[in-house]
Amino acid sequence: MAIKVSEIFHSVQGEGQWAGTPSTFVRLSGCNLRCVWCDTPYASWNPEGEIMELDDIFASAKHRHVVLTGGEPMLFTESVTLSERWRKDNRIITIETAGTIFQDIHCDLMSISPKLSNSTPTSDAKWSKTHEERRWNPEVINKLTKNYPYQLKFVIGPEVTKDINEVEALLSQLEDINPEQVFLMPEGRDSSSLWSRAKELIPACMSHGWRIAPRLQIDLFGDTKGT
Ligand code: SF4
């Protein structure tokens, strides 16, 4: 059994509740969305990588925490097989997904990043329509949050108020969401713009009980592949 892998690397988790935790990242290549600000186009718009045997992917885990990311790892049944093997090996598994596809998979944290309308690639007619039809799927997200420990991470763009209003509207369509597991994550490619936008998110987090998600990988390493 084999699958296309964009990259495998070892670093600290940059985002969400396990930020700072040493982890092995396995990035699968291929995505069903095309976010305009995608920071991993080599796993989405232009999927790159090599076909690897699952045995070799499994053996690459050097840390107790393993993060299966993409692209969209829930597209692939091989993700389920990998998660079964890591579970038997006592690994702590995070799945990073946009929350548009459900699979019965092993994980300790379902890290869901539903995409707002700020992600839609308006200048690409074909992908604009397809992305818009796929990006928000409350039925799938409700199923994921009921079946797994979860966090919800929303990427907030320059139009902060509009995006926060959209987050409120989307969350109202979901069931039994713990606000402490909702993270607002500024969009940006450099540390200073990230933190300046993060300051604008404080009032919404204070009033709703949400959290601001750092992006440690950008603070520590810049906008660099393999971090
Ligand atoms: S879901 Fe993730 S990998 Fe896919 S296009 Fe959006 S940002 Fe890129």
Is the pLDDT score of 227 beyond 70? no
Is the pLDDT score of 127 beyond 80? yes
Centre of ligand 1 from the C-alpha of residue 155, in Å: 11
Q: Given this model, what pLDDT does residue 194 score?
A: 82
How is domain 2-221 classified at the CATH fold level?
TIM Barrel (3.20.20)
Q: What is the mean pLDDT of the chain?
A: 94
pLDDT digits (tens, 9 = 90+) for 179-211: 999 999 988 777 877 888 888 999 999 999 999
Report DSSP state, residue 45.
Answer: T
Give which of 122, 113, 149 is closest to 31, Cα–Cα.
113
Query: Do strands 109-112 and 65-69 pair parallel, antiparallel, or not at all (unpaired)?
Result: unpaired
Centre of ligand 1 from the C-alpha of residue 38, in Å: 5
Structural domain spans, the chain: 2-221
The protein residue whose alpha carbon is closest to atom 2 in ligand 1 is 71
Give which of 67, 45, 190 is closest to 130, Cα–Cα.
45
Average pLDDT value for residue range 86-112: 98
pLDDT digits (tens, 9 = 90+) for 6-32: 999 999 999 999 999 999 999 999 999
Q: Please name the residue that has the structure tokens 């990988």.
A: 217
Q: Given this model, what pLDDT does residue 188 score?
A: 77
pLDDT band at 223 (very low <50, low <70, confident <90, very high): confident
Q: Are 205 and 174 in contact (CB under 8 A)?
A: no
The CA distance from 132 to 108, in Å, is 29
Average pLDDT value for residue range 155-166: 95
The protein residue whose alpha carbon is closest to atom 6 in ligand 1 is 35
Centre of ligand 1 from the C-alpha of residue 149, in Å: 22
Q: Given this model, what pLDDT does residue 37 score?
A: 92
* Ligand 1 atom nearest to 34, measured from its CA: 5
* Ligand 1 atom nearest to 43, measured from its CA: 3
Beta sheet of 65-69, edge-to-edge order: 50-53, 2-12, 22-28, 65-69, 92-97, 109-112, 150-156, 182-186, 211-212
pLDDT digits (tens, 9 = 90+) for 37-69: 998 999 999 999 999 999 999 999 999 999 999
Q: Are 7 and 87 in contact (CB under 8 A)?
A: no
Give which of 108, 202, 30, 205 is closest to 38, Cα–Cα.
30
